[in-house]
Structure 1
């Protein structure tokens, strides 16, 4: 076993009468810049599934993700775990943040707490985050949380060089082949899972103190893993032999002789709680090496070999000194042969609008019917067939509107303008002649705030 025993034995009482010695992992903080806590980790080999209290500040790379996830008005609720990538970025699971409205992140007071052992301690380092990057191929529960990974950008950097209780997590290397990635971590390797407990598990006692537990990586062909895992390239099982618990989004790590390396992210447990014979499923972090690099260093990102499990996207960096054709943020296209497209980065296509009226004849005048683009503050470009059924003499009374400055059709604060005039090309042929000259321009009854609104271009 690759741990170094301290000169002073450390013991833990697991029951009133049984004392088990802990394995102490002595980090070499002089030679490594990540993966070491403020104090050394001491883990007790045990066959209990409930874990144990961690040594205070021994896992300095973990953070508590907090917002009103219980919908009770408490914005300081510990919801999920995460780990520190660098002073600007935090790593977590996509399902921890996929319900958050990205257009109003700052106003929702979503924070992370770093440099803590007890959730209620006084001296916490709190940071708000202002941007969320969710993997574009994240599937959610429909396909067993494939690509369940997200990165949070902090509005203010962490003081990694000043606060000794805040540390970066170490990431695994980029594997040269998909097969190598699929075997990392290796079958049977001992891992450590940490966290403050599982959210929404009513029969689990929630602790305020950071917990830790030994678990073991399990090969994807193992029967108890194979029936629950969705994609072996990006997921792995652990804890089948002894059970496990931890925060969703939190790290699972392995010891490399002088520091800890994060090999996974807690994604989901089977049958609603971790138990012997039912695995926990983790995101295989090495498979997302390129994606993480691209998020943190988009301008410097290069790759020279075939990417394992992720194809780097193409970023179109706009020159916003031009007066048109640029969104609020740069456009990102994923290089994929999968039909159906993928989710655009929020507000990267700020020139697009949603045209809305009662197109389904069900009385819903907010239905999205067609798309369009902004020509200037008064005019919208669209297809003639989108508006050729309207009576031009009573357009205002028909409640035709456009919604701009949106990413999600259901956003709560779209910019709405009514259409008061429609110009259809005089030689528009319609369906009988295959929609020749299928173009129209809509005039708005009130100008758009193109010069002042960041999401309207």
Structure 2
């Protein structure tokens, strides 16, 4: 890995003084959860969830999440990609634990939304991968998003987050074996209105984003790019992409900010062509 790439991943992992991008440079194995989450039970799968991994001298390392939207396309956050070498990136599908083999595909390229501004707006990207994933509607399947194109998700909507991110409010140095999980975590809470989100300190939130909040739970470092999902009559639908929050994770006063998928459905559709 080159110096530039190390610096990019380092900056992503640390975040700003106020804002916190929810990705990380991983190193180590741990047994537990995202903040306020719980292990996905043995034998169960979140079939649309993938682990984004980066090839380093130490091996393949998880640093972000993503979701399957087509056999050869992955939806994730722009800040999980910007400045990184696609040839070192891969995705692993069909796994519950990061120590499982799963189905690995190489990232060929990524497209970042042209309006992306870090900690401001349009934090999404689409990865092209090879070989295409073999969808089996059990451990590997795509998540829908198109039916939400005309729907604006407001406050009070139950949503579910999954990921392998930090399970503590802040990382403790030299304690990766406590900080980070190897087993996929699942956590549920509710969206809040964008007005309530701004009133809670996320002043730059716009209608291109969704906020969610719950007591002592939320996204954290390593969860970036992962899917925020709600249940509909036609099954699970992705409404958000993990983007950013305040420096300390999982505080009730500090909402999580997600990219609003419905705002960008047309752009995502164009990346599938």
TM-score by length of 2: 0.77
Cross-structure match for 2:51: 64
* Paired residues of 1:250 and 1:265 also in contact (CA < 8 A): yes
For 2:203 and 2:228, the matched residues in 1 are separated by 17
How far has the Cα of 1:198 moved from its partner? 3.6
Is 1:113 matched with 2:92? yes
Contact (CA 8 Å) 2:71, 2:133: kept in 1 or not?
Answer: yes
Work out which of the residue numbers 258, 266, 270 in structure 2 matches 1:282: 258
Which of 237, 248, 254 is equivalent to 2:230?
254
Q: What is the Cα deviation at residue 224 of structure 1? A: 5.5
The answer for the alignment partner of 1:148 in structure 2 is 123
Q: Deviations over 1:364-414 (max 9, x none)?
A: xxxxxxxxxxxxxxxxxxxxxxxxxxxxxxxxxxxxxxxxxxxxxxxxxxx
CA distance in 2, matches of 1:91, 1:210: 18
Looking at secondary structure, tell me which structure has more strand per residue.
Answer: 2
Give yes or no for the alignment of 1:202 onto 2:171: yes
Distance, in Å, in 1 between the alignment partners of 2:44 and 2:90 is 20
CA contact (8 A) 1:234 1:287 kept: yes
Indicate the structure with greater helix content. Answer: 2
> How big is each residue's C-alpha offset from its partner over 1:281-332, in whole Å with a ceiling of 9 and x where there is no partner?
00000000100011112xxxxxxxxxxxxxxxxxxxxxxxxxxxxxxxxxxx
Matching residue within 114, 127, 149 for 1:136: 114
| Residue correspondence of structure 1 range 69-218 to structure 2 within 5 A | 73-101=57-85, 105-106=86-87, 108=88, 110-122=89-101, 124-140=102-118, 144-161=119-136, 164-173=138-147, 175-176=149-150, 181=151, 184-198=152-166, 201-203=170-172, 205-218=179-192
- Aligned CA RMSD, in angstroms, stands at 2.4
TM-score normalized by the length of structure 1: 0.47
Structure 1: gaps of 5 or more residues: 1-47, 298-457
Question: For the structure 1 residues 65 and 83, does the alpha-carbon distance in structure 2 shift closer, same or farther, using more than 3 Å as the test?
Answer: same
Residues 84 and 169 in structure 1, CA contact (< 8 A), matched pair in contact too: yes
Q: 1:199, 1:132 → 2: CA distance?
A: 28
Partner of 2:19: none
- Relative contact order, CA 8 A, sep 6+: which one is greater? 2
Q: Tell me the number of residue pairs that the alignment of Structure 1 and Structure 2 aligns.
A: 231
Give matches, 1:353-392, under 5 Å.
Answer: none
1:273 Cα deviation after fit: 1.9
SS of equivalent residue, structure 1 residue 95 = helix
Secondary structure of 1:77 counterpart: strand
| SS of match in other structure, 1:253 | strand
Matches within 5 A, 1:225-304: 227-245=201-219, 247-257=223-233, 259-297=235-273
